[in-house]
Structure 1
């Protein structure tokens, strides 16, 4: 029996297409710190679904001799889809995902209900061998040699395995015509290698990796968020402020922004508060022409300092920005300054932060304008910012990983 080698690598429309913005992110920009950005042609990135890159495999059930699959996975992302499959129609599906850092399985039941089962923690940045094995009336998921999750199959799913339909597998997202409701953010900042899908030839994936660099992963990763120099993310301020948003009406409210970074190009916006008219109310930028870190308030230069000598040496940089009643405090390395903030400006900042439609951008401006290139970690109100909470993303941003060469922890 010969398997029908009908593999489809799709961008939600089952046709190969790479967003031109993503290809531009890999163009070189003026660098102040050079490193080898080794994106391997045998490591498949699973997190491009937000821009339409979803590899999909399709097989005729009658041509299959096995339903077992295995692969190795590496991720630091606490949430996202690893793969989604259905057989004989949308009603018989199987979802393997990461939720709260743990392996999770979601599958359909014959009565229309959904079964969700949680497994071990896997979001530690280490490679994990994962196998999905068909058993009698059940599916078992192994991590290494240990059975992590076992779920019972519905009668409908078992019947579909001997039917005349198709088995479809999408990597990193749902199938485009799936009606499944997810309680998670699909893109998984993760990497896959050494795959074997239902014991069939999947060389189309290797060809995709050869053709498209944005589908590749780095050989080694470190925690952080990687911005390519033509990318940015935008958030609702109230999402970032969390519980402190309820205190915006208070007279003693304080805004705290902490940034840790390692630059590749010494330019671009690091932080911007944009109002509903798209005006920049508060911004922090690496200004390449003057070689200065610039803080602007309502479009006017409020403070600046020369780049530290270590900015382009590969060392990590740490910035702190605080807005208090009557004061704006900023620090970068050993440089620290305290400026007077008028009551009017203090109230303006609070008002913009509380307005629906305002946004906070990290790593660049709207549409990726004047963007940062390097590894960035941000805290707002003392809480790590999860880029998966962003309302908008521009360009190829890796939310939870950076090349190991830009590891902020190793940057002295």
Structure 2
């Protein structure tokens, strides 16, 4: 595999892809079932859709493009996700820019060659970072905040051809099969882009969404639930230690929450375990069958451990102390966990298609299951949740 030389039609595929990020946040119909989106606005990439489907896309004629340098700003706490995609020849040659482990990842397919390069500074710190992409001969260069980030070149033995025809562009997703990716990554991106300077072209972009979601002016780390969102996991993906049981840890300002923080339930079983915040009573209540434990909404952190015959609850207010330890009259908690579903942000109902009710409004700054951070992007079902950021 050659790694040096001719770069994506002299870099146009990469730099043209950045034009898409000039999309605005409101659109008008174009008569094709799509909405046209104007340039210049801030765009939120985490809007609900199929996880690989672009949020916005467009097609431009290569003969109408003159500039080969573009720049934009990106802000995210999300370490992984798609930023933009571009291709020529109906997807035969393509380029993808994403984040993985917080750093830029570029993947390129050109004339049957495949290259992936990752590196540069971590960008998942919640600050605005300026990215500049340009073409210099056979090389494509990514600069981050004015400093060198990545440099990619591709050398082919084929006779260099003049690329013509159309270039497809997409923001927040790709237009080819995901199996073509050289490096696997989680495509969903909880992040924003703004202040794009995009080549010399101003064709309208298109979106299937009725209206694009806004970006919050200021954000903080966490997972935000707006009162209609949830993330559901199959509990079989979490290991269970019979001796130590199941441990769930949560942190956040519970005084600013309302609704179901989490619940888990197994199909066909009556037992439902749920943690609910009630604004009317100013209480946080853990319900486990007939057992109920109530605490004040001023709590900042909870550590809940379910064992075969024991339930332990620790709360931090402001210091982590044991609130209660009780013997369980219902021994079926662990079997419910092994066979069930865990919902973050909703009260599960009966049936696998029932996503629940009594949805959470508020920010969870920390969600851990069995001692590991829970990434909501990996949920079996997810809707209307900002997985890595909350409004500040």
TM bucket, shorter chain = 0.7 to 0.9
Change (3 A) 1:49 1:159: farther
The number of residue pairs the alignment matches comes to 351
Q: Output the aligned Cα RMSD.
A: 3.5
Measure how far apart 1:280 and its partner are: 5.3
TM-score normalised by L of structure 2: 0.78
Match of 2:163 in 1: 163
Counterpart secondary structure, 2:336: helix
Matches within 5 A, 1:88-103: 88-103=89-104
| Long gaps (5+) in structure 2 | 1-15, 349-354
Match of 1:371 in 2: 359
| Partner Cα separation in structure 2 for residue 192 and residue 170 of structure 1 | 13
Question: Which of 300, 308, 313 lines up with 1:317 in the alignment?
Answer: 300
Matched, 1:302 2:284: no
CA contact (8 A) 1:104 1:117 kept: yes
Measure how far apart 1:278 and its partner are: 7.5
Q: What CA deviation, in whole Å up to 9, does each residue of 1:328-365 have, x standing for no partner?
A: 122444581221114x52xx22223333xx21111113
Change (3 A) 1:197 1:179: farther
Change (3 A) 1:71 1:266: closer
CA contact (8 A) 1:86 1:94 kept: yes
| Partner Cα separation in structure 2 for residue 198 and residue 277 of structure 1 | 58
Measure how far apart 1:191 and its partner are: 0.8
CA contact (8 A) 1:109 1:154 kept: no
CA contact (8 A) 1:272 1:281 kept: yes
Counterpart secondary structure, 1:217: coil
Match of 2:184 in 1: 183
TM-score normalised by L of structure 1: 0.75
Match of 1:262 in 2: 253
Q: What CA deviation, in whole Å up to 9, does each residue of 1:155-189 have, x standing for no partner?
A: 599967x3332122211111267763361111111
Question: Which of 224, 230, 250 lines up with 1:232 in the alignment?
Answer: 230
Counterpart secondary structure, 1:175: coil
Moved more, 145-154 or 177-186: 177-186
| Partner Cα separation in structure 2 for residue 158 and residue 143 of structure 1 | 33
Matched, 1:354 2:338: yes
Matched, 1:50 2:49: yes
Measure how far apart 1:218 and its partner are: 0.9
| Long gaps (5+) in structure 1 | 19-40, 311-315, 405-412
Measure how far apart 1:267 and its partner are: 2.7
Q: What CA deviation, in whole Å up to 9, does each residue of 1:349-396 have, x standing for no partner?
A: 2223333xx2111111353521111101211222221111111102x2
Change (3 A) 1:371 1:166: same
Measure how far apart 1:154 and its partner are: 5.8
Matches within 5 A, 1:10-49: 15-16=33-34, 42-48=41-47
| Partner Cα separation in structure 1 for residue 316 and residue 81 of structure 2 | 35
Q: What CA deviation, in whole Å up to 9, does each residue of 1:192-246 have, x standing for no partner?
A: 01112333226758x999x8351x211111000000001110112243x3xxx1x
Measure how far apart 1:270 and its partner are: 0.7
Change (3 A) 1:16 1:384: same
